[in-house]
Amino acid sequence: VRAPLPIERYITNFVCEVPLPPMGKVAVKVKLTNDDVLSISRPPDNRLPLLNCSLRPLFASLSVSNVMVLMGCLLQETRVALCSKHLALLGPCCETLVALL
């Protein structure tokens, strides 16, 4: 099945013309296909941004004082290298640190 327009045209339309909803008020729903519906909403003004990752791996691996030292280094834009015996922990820990920034 061929689309009447190229996919780039649909992406441009979606990115440039679908409005973001007001903070914490409504959600914009866009029907992508017959089965897929994309819902876009924003948190209220008076709330912190929501995290899409768990804080558990970071705080299970490091003490609170070490997390604070690490955050201080990151805020000062110091180069930080993370290493672990468990490679599966590196990704979630990095995501958490970025989300906390």
Query: What pLDDT does residue 72 have?
Result: 93
Tally DSSP H helices, then E strands, for the chain. Answer: 4, 2
φ/ψ of residue 69, rounded to 5: -60, -45
pLDDT, residue 67, reads 92
Percent of the chain that is helix, strand, coil (3-state, to 5): 45, 10, 50
Summarize pLDDT for 27-61 with one digit per residue, the tens: 778 787 888 888 877 777 766 666 777 888 889 99
Over 90: is that where the pLDDT of 64 sits? yes
Give how far Cα 94 sits from Cα of 45, 49, 83, 90, Å: 26, 17, 11, 6
- The amino acid that residue 55 corresponds to is L
pTM here is: 0.52
Mean residue pLDDT across the chain: 83
